[in-house]
Structure formats: structure tokens, C-alpha cells
Amino acid sequence: MDVWDVLGRRTANDEFVVVGAVKAPDVDLALLLARETHFRHKEGVAYAVRRRGDDRIHEGEWTPESLGGVTDRSYRRQEAYAGVGAKLKRVASQMAARGLRIDRPRPPDPRGGADGEPRHE
């Protein structure tokens, strides 16, 4: 079975770059596997495959808007978890107020925060 290099363009201004490879018997299956394996999380605006050893690039037909899905799949992406750092800070404050925080020596904060203070993103 042939090996197909998978190429992607992150933005419209980018060139195609190799992001991986899939194994498939023909170009249609190669494009399908490339899309499902490498572009499920809206990783780019265009995708393509190139049979290893050939020069010809076969571009996928999915548009930038539809690549990665058009239904709400935000749980698959970072933005669905925005605010987790702030929540950690909030929970830590609550635990400190309840006397549950464990006070033991910690490494210095590499970002220059005060030692011993909770460090959260």
C-alpha cells in the first residue's frame, strides 16, 4: 500500500508543509485519512496529500470554514477550557480559607513571583 505525505497550510498566507503521512490504497482514502488524522481540530485552512516519490499534490476539497467540522465541537479545542487557570486560583483560595492548603516549601517561581505564594497560570 502506498505512503502519502500529508501537507497542511496553517493560514492562507502559509505554504504547504509536510505534517505527517498516512498509508492508503488511493488518493480518496489518503485524503480522508489525512483529514481525520491531522485536521480534526481545525489545525489549518487547507490540506493535501502527495504520494511518496511523486511530485503531484492532491488538495482536499474541504473549505477553510468546514475543515475540522461545522458543528459545535469546541470541547475538542483549547478555547473550551478558557478560564481553567483562573478557576484553579479560585479553588486554591477557597481551600486556603478552609485551612486545607498544604503549606510546604516550594521551588522559587521562575516568573519572579513571591516564594510560597500559590502559582497559577
Which residue among 107, 111, 112, 114 contacts another protein (CB under 8 A)?
Answer: 107
| Cβ-Cβ contacts under 8 Å for 62 (sequence gap 6 or more) | 35, 39, 47
The residue written with cell numbers 516568573 in the block is 111
Q: Please, are residues 55 and 82 in contact by the beta-carbon 8 Å criterion? A: no
Which residue among 65, 103, 111, 114 contacts another protein (CB under 8 A)?
Answer: 103
Shortest reach from residue 116's CB to another protein, in Å: 10
Binding site for another protein (CB under 8 A): 1-3, 18-27, 29, 36-38, 40-41, 43, 73, 75-78, 80-81, 84, 87-88, 91-92, 94-96, 98, 100-107, 118-120
